Structure 1
């Protein structure tokens, strides 16, 4: 049986590919669990500084949760459906959102439901001109379950988000860009190249500083500004005790390129 998530390491960048193209890369439980396991492996690998997540084939990034599979969970009862489907998906998107290394979603086609929610959770996202997004859960009588009712309003604003959540309508990469769901829209044949280029721009800098920035932003978004500023100070204090901050300052003063551990 082929792996439902492919892993490839190029230099300091890990490429993860959702690999169920015949199912439009739908997120069944096994795929979800394998993705989590690979993220654990990547976090422990000091030689990796950034992650790109995309979909196999030319049709889909991910069409969302595997409807046939979670239908069976729902039929077995509410408690099982919440545990097997909802909590599993929420853990996965929360893991992506709080991952200490930058995660870039390279959206190469359909990004519906859980596929859109992965895009929302990723730190950065680039969309192909062929990408199509939707929040279609309402069409089957459920709300989004992988964090879509919470992250999309924070990205796009309440009214934009509610329009998409309540209608289930599709929307293109242009609107996704305007709402802040993606950072860039590129031709399909340049998508992975553009994602790698973005990762390389990040990898010029201290990996510890990147992790501290991600932590401050992720935690701070869900607090008041005063609490967020406290989080920011905490992350700054953690950097002050690191070798990276001294290397960065010394390099700046000496007008040379800094050399950080792991680079």
Structure 2
């Protein structure tokens, strides 16, 4: 039987991010003993009794995220190319990003950390990178999570999310376009002359997510139109210039 202070020291080292192997080696204990302290049934019950201070929605009373603009960006990224997977012990949030845009990959990681993730991982996929973080409170912050694909279920903002998205519409739109949108040069040939002009497009199969995007664009005074059933286009020069102020080409 080990003294309680040894167990408490192991738990404290784990909370500080010390690797599991280093904990049991430093304390001269067996991996089985330390594993039971950190991950066993008693540890699980102990964690459930202690509120996670990182989750603003589990606070009493619930509070808004401390970095609302960054949260609005992460929400846009999640609604575009993100998903949440639950396991018995925790929850995985993953956002997929094209490998051509390391700046966006870094911005997603920073947003996850600012919203509560202790560690963020990059998993290589064919042509893309999955930026992911484990945290059981992701569904608290992203209540749009549900079974099945997003466009097959209703997507609506929670009451507490609406003022954040309204106040930080630029960050929200930036997240949406960084995930499922693009800025490109459109070329039109008229009477043998080629005219070029930039435009933005946002593509998503969910009519609800498209509605959220258009709602934020309206709030920002940006003119848009639906060029296809699942594609929103911004082509007017002044509106493109407005988007360039806070989105711009992907990088």
What TM-score bracket applies, with the shorter chain setting the length? Answer: under 0.3
Structure (1/2) with the larger strand percentage:
2
**Structure with the higher helix share, 1 or 2:** 1
